[in-house]
Amino acid sequence: MAANTPIAIIGMSCRFAGDVDNPEKLWDLLAEGRSAWSEIPKDRFNIDGFRHPNFEKLNGTNVVGGHFLKEDIGLFDAHFFNLSAETAAALDPQFRLQLESTYEAFESAGISLQDVAGSNTSVFAGSFFRDYHESLVRDPDSLPRFLLMGTGAAMASNRLSHFFDLRGQSTPVCVAVQLALTQLLRAWGINATAVTSHSSGEIAAAYAAGALDLPSAMAIAFARGGLASESNRQFARKGGMVAVGLGAKDSQKYLPLVTDGKVVLACENSPSSITVSGDVCGIDQLEALLKQDNIFARRLKVDAAWHSHHMEAVADAYYASMDNKVRPAQDHLDIAFASPATGTRLEDVEEIGSPGHWVRSLTGPVRFVEAFRSMCFEAPDSEPAVDMVVEVGPHAALSGPIQDIMGMPEFKDITIPYASCLVRKQNAVDTMHTLVGNLLQSGYPVNLAAVNFPYGKHGLKVLHDLPRYPWNHQTRHWNEPRVNKALRARSERPHDLLGSLVLGTNLKAPSWRHFVRISELPWVRDHVVQNNIIYPAAGHLSMAIEGASQLASKQSTNKKIQGYQLRDVDILNALVVAETSDGIELQLSLRPCGDRALDTKDWSEFQVQLVSSDNKWTDHCKGLIMIEYAPEDKEETSGRGSRGPKRNLGQPVEESAYRIRISPRDIYASLRSGGISHGPIFQNLKGIRARGKQSVTSFTVADSEATMPKNHQHQHVVHPTTLDSVFQAAYTAVPGAGNTVGTPKVPRSIRKLWVAHGISPSAGHPFKAYTALKHIDSQTMTTSITVADASTPSEVEASRSPVITIDDFVYQSIGMAPVQEAPSWEQDKFATAKWVPDISFLKDSYLKKQLGSELSGKEAELLMDLRRACLFYTYHALDELTAADVQGLEWHHRKFYIWMRLQVELARTNELAPGSSEWIKTT
């Protein structure tokens, strides 16, 4: 097209945000100056699960709105476009809107589908994102069958060209190679058309296929027309034909029974219908035999025995009448031609155009069943080569046989519509219009202008103000994997310390994925062990606590969280963080322990693992965790303080009792000399005082938020930098701390840890850690630590409730070095005052809790075994006691007897222990 070639927009339609679904509404939107911007609809995706002020964060966005179509994009009039529900659900909503809006554009231009069908109209289409495609491929196991046909980039234009039958270029902007493929297929002349016939109809079929020109077809028909009388004149016996309701195979039982004259199988019409031809006397005898067995038989109103030995008498004359008058119309066939004379497809036009073929068609049997199958299928087990069968003739004579043939195994699960041009005793105009309607319904491009206006459209006026087509948007077509739906509906943003829930995870045993990148968590860079950036062990515990907290928020409970208990924590491997853009992937899993073991009821097992790029999983931390809820009994709460248990420190609270001052700078220098380096964000110890193997350490909350991108940090229970400061306090109780800590040691295990809910995260908030060293040697050390909020006045220090408690915190050596003994001057020389609770002032509930003890796993198993053994002996003792024995018991023995029976009843109702009713069965 030349640059100055004028063009005209003759029709248009549109879909825009702001409830704009036609050009008139677009004009109103622009004229009124309205904005179409809106917040992101919840049905698209939940922005709360992705929103983050740092626009550079890989799995977040700071966008809160945009321009969205108002109508549900899943609604689509699939029936109008002849699409099944399955196909429609796989079709990209962008392509659905294009189909509907393109039809509306043709409506706007006053152009019918018949006018554009087959026209040299090009389609140029572009698409931005492929959101629907990407949502479907998120779950490869649930991909729809028609994914590529529904969401492929090429379909942006090809869907329009296919439905509207547009023959020009159909070019998606992203695919240029289709230009060459389209031209190649067109040059090959690929067409999906085939023909066949029955008996003399083969002449018209050969003409329709292009195998004969019109003069040749007329010559063959003329020559054949005079053969009936000629055969009767030359053949001694009269001929006739009879239609029989049997298949070709079953008919062989009757044909040999004919003794009066000769009859042959002339036509195989269908699997249950044949035509027999031959001498009239034989035809009469066969008809009588068949009717005697109640088999359908009807004489045909013909005077000649076509397709039998009667035709041999006129074969030479027939051949001579066609000689030099029949010739092929072209040198090759563009349309498949299935001959009833052979039952196969014929491709040699010379053979079809030879008189010999037509003599064989006259004298030989009609193999219509085989010919029809050959027309429909190029080869056995292949897909159908035709979409619809149209009978061209004076009546729908072959409708019955065709329906029978389509019931054969080859046509199983295949539906090919049938229509006839004419039907006896019906108006020909009506039958032809019915045929046109059937073809249109099957998607064939019929020129309706020629059908409806055979004399032209002169004087007709196009109506431009008709309402647009009423799309049927009652049915929603949508295909979405469960994991993609979970992603859209995600309510929590990826947390700095936890990450985000694994898509589709089971909330009864959830998992989280957390990508640790130095660029997103700069404070990690300040934690170095032996020249490697190590993700702190405190980070694993913070991750487990955040996971439990997030899971509790998803549960519909009005209980108030008081704290988090962790026990049997193992820190298995150091986690090295590489300074790469990919970072590392951590996964946290929580699994309920169940109620089988007495000591793990209401507990969950947590596990932190590293997942490598090649899918190797490495355990780094594991343990048990339980959320502690505030009791509903206010009286019990009053004896425990505002939150968490009161704890006997076992050491003085007043700093004056600790006469040795240690500089935090010396502690960090000593650790650094052993290969443990803390950067500024981890250096939060402010003051240290010690006495023997006890110490009190003052520290503050680090300003980790200031190091984060955009100074944004998610809310958390306890930050790793804060928890790591608590862990650092363990070093201050080592004799000689500040001079040397002996062999450098790192956290290895924790028997019990309690963290209060609601610890202040404010930068600079003060805390005090009270540390007691229980054991130390060259390889390990064990401490217990209690942390109190130091923001209250010092005079109430003794009444503070702890915010963090750690029992039996084990550190393990990362190198070999002797442990220095404490100098003699560090030993206590003076008596000190100790503050302990007065038992007479304690509440019963508090005393009961303090005297309670949690069993280890092995202890709990042993207790369960002992309880079961006790039940075993009790049960058998009761079984051996007779009524006389019971009557003779002393009064105190009788009480034991009653107690034993009670234990058995408790076991039957599972009140003695979980599953104790099964013990009775095995006892």
Question: How do residues 138-161 score in pLDDT, each as one tens digit?
Answer: 887 778 888 777 877 667 777 888
Q: How confident is the model at residue 534 (pLDDT cuts 50, 70, 90)?
A: very high
Structure confidence by residue, pLDDT tens digits, 377-431: 988 878 888 888 888 777 788 899 999 999 998 888 888 888 887 788 888 778 8
CA distance 887 to 844: 41
Encoded tokens for 187: 């040059």
CA distance 893 to 886: 9
> 697 φ, ψ to 5°?
-120, 130
CA distance 303 to 230: 11
CA angle 553, 556, 557 (to 5 degrees): 85
Q: How confident is the model at residue 646 (pLDDT cuts 50, 70, 90)?
A: low
Burial of 572 (0-12, 13-18, 19+ CB in 10 A): middle
H or E, element range at 329? none
CA distance 588 to 583: 16
CA angle 305, 310, 315 (to 5 degrees): 115
> Is residue 644's pLDDT more than 60?
no
> If you count DSSP H runs as helices and E runs as strands, how many of each does the chain have, helices first?
30, 29
CA 873, distance to chain mean position in Å, is 57
Structure confidence by residue, pLDDT tens digits, 851-874: 766 777 778 888 888 888 898 889
Name the nearest CA neighbour of 590 among 616, 618, 625.
Answer: 625
CA 359, distance to chain mean position in Å, is 64
CA angle 401, 407, 412 (to 5 degrees): 145
Q: Rounded to the nearest 10 degrees, how much is the dihedral formed by the CA atoms of 86, 88, 90, 96? A: 180
Query: For strand 584-592 and strand 617-629, is the pairing parallel, antiparallel, or unpaired?
Result: unpaired
- Comparing 47-51, 281-285, 398-402, 660-664, the range with the smallest average pLDDT is 47-51
CA 317, distance to chain mean position in Å, is 73
Q: Rounded to the nearest 10 degrees, how much is the dihedral formed by the CA atoms of 447, 453, 455, 461? A: -120
- Which whole number is the average pLDDT over 587-615? 86
- Which whole number is the average pLDDT over 643-653? 58
**C-beta neighbour count of 823 within 10 angstroms:** 10
Inter-residue contact 122 to 168 (CB < 8 Å): yes
CATH class of residue range 194-380: alpha beta
What pLDDT score was predicted for residue 817?
42
Burial of 741 (0-12, 13-18, 19+ CB in 10 A): buried
* Catalytic (active site) residue 892: no
Inter-residue contact 261 to 281 (CB < 8 Å): yes
Domain residue extents for the chain:
23-183, 194-380, 388-443, 493-829, 857-922
Provide the CATH number for the domain formed by 23-183 in this structure.
3.40.47.10
User: Regarding predicted confidence, which is higher, 796 or 4?
Assistant: 4
Residue type present at position 36: A
Inter-residue contact 518 to 525 (CB < 8 Å): yes
> Is residue 687's pLDDT more than 70?
yes
> Is residue 555's pLDDT more than 60?
yes
Q: How confident is the model at residue 176 (pLDDT cuts 50, 70, 90)?
A: very low
CA distance 60 to 64: 11
What pLDDT score was predicted for residue 203?
84
Structure confidence by residue, pLDDT tens digits, 6-17: 888 889 999 999
CA distance 619 to 612: 12
Q: How confident is the model at residue 641 (pLDDT cuts 50, 70, 90)?
A: very low
Burial of 381 (0-12, 13-18, 19+ CB in 10 A): exposed
Residue 437: strand, helix, or coil: helix
> Is residue 231's pLDDT more than 70?
no
Inter-residue contact 426 to 453 (CB < 8 Å): no
Q: Rounded to the nearest 10 degrees, how much is the dihedral formed by the CA atoms of 86, 87, 88, 94? A: 140
What pLDDT score was predicted for residue 304?
82
CA distance 678 to 661: 21
Burial of 512 (0-12, 13-18, 19+ CB in 10 A): buried
Name the nearest CA neighbour of 425 among 394, 389, 393.
Answer: 394
CA distance 330 to 84: 41
**Domain 493-829 architecture:** Roll (3.10)
Strand partners, 689: 661, 696
CA distance 272 to 60: 70
Q: Which one of 77, 568, 703, 724 is the catalytic residue?
A: 724
For the chain, the C-alpha Rg in angstroms (whole number) is 46
Query: For strand 685-691 and strand 532-535, is the pairing parallel, antiparallel, or unpaired?
Result: unpaired
Inter-residue contact 107 to 468 (CB < 8 Å): yes
H or E, element range at 241? strand 239-244
Q: How confident is the model at residue 234 (pLDDT cuts 50, 70, 90)?
A: low
> Is residue 769's pLDDT more than 90?
yes
Inter-residue contact 516 to 586 (CB < 8 Å): yes
Q: How confident is the model at residue 3 (pLDDT cuts 50, 70, 90)?
A: low
What pLDDT score was predicted for residue 185?
24
What pLDDT score was predicted for residue 650?
59
Contacts (Cβ under 8 Å, ≥6 apart) of 670: 731, 737, 738, 739, 740, 741
CA distance 418 to 847: 91
- Which whole number is the average pLDDT over 883-889? 88
Structure confidence by residue, pLDDT tens digits, 445-502: 767 767 777 666 777 777 777 788 889 999 999 888 888 888 888 888 899 999 999 9
Inter-residue contact 676 to 744 (CB < 8 Å): yes
DSSP-assigned letters across all residues of 667-694: HHHHHHHTTEEE-GGG--EEEEEEETTE
**C-beta neighbour count of 457 within 10 angstroms:** 10
* Catalytic (active site) residue 527: yes
> Is residue 236's pLDDT more than 70?
no
CA distance 369 to 400: 12
HSE of 680, CA atoms in CB hemisphere, 13 A: 5
What pLDDT score was predicted for residue 742?
64
Query: For strand 239-244 and strand 273-279, is the pairing parallel, antiparallel, or unpaired?
Result: antiparallel
Q: Which one of 198, 310, 495, 527 is the catalytic residue?
A: 527
Name the nearest CA neighbour of 868 among 819, 921, 913.
Answer: 913
Average per-residue pLDDT for the chain: 84
Name the nearest CA neighbour of 588 among 541, 641, 653.
Answer: 541
Residue 44: strand, helix, or coil: coil
Name the nearest CA neighbour of 138 among 445, 486, 500, 428.
Answer: 486
User: Regarding predicted confidence, which is higher, 902 or 459?
Assistant: 902
Structure confidence by residue, pLDDT tens digits, 65-77: 999 999 999 999 9
User: Regarding predicted confidence, which is higher, 869 or 224?
Assistant: 869
Max mean pLDDT range (393-402, 575-584, 724-733): 724-733
What pLDDT score was predicted for residue 502?
92
H or E, element range at 808? strand 802-813
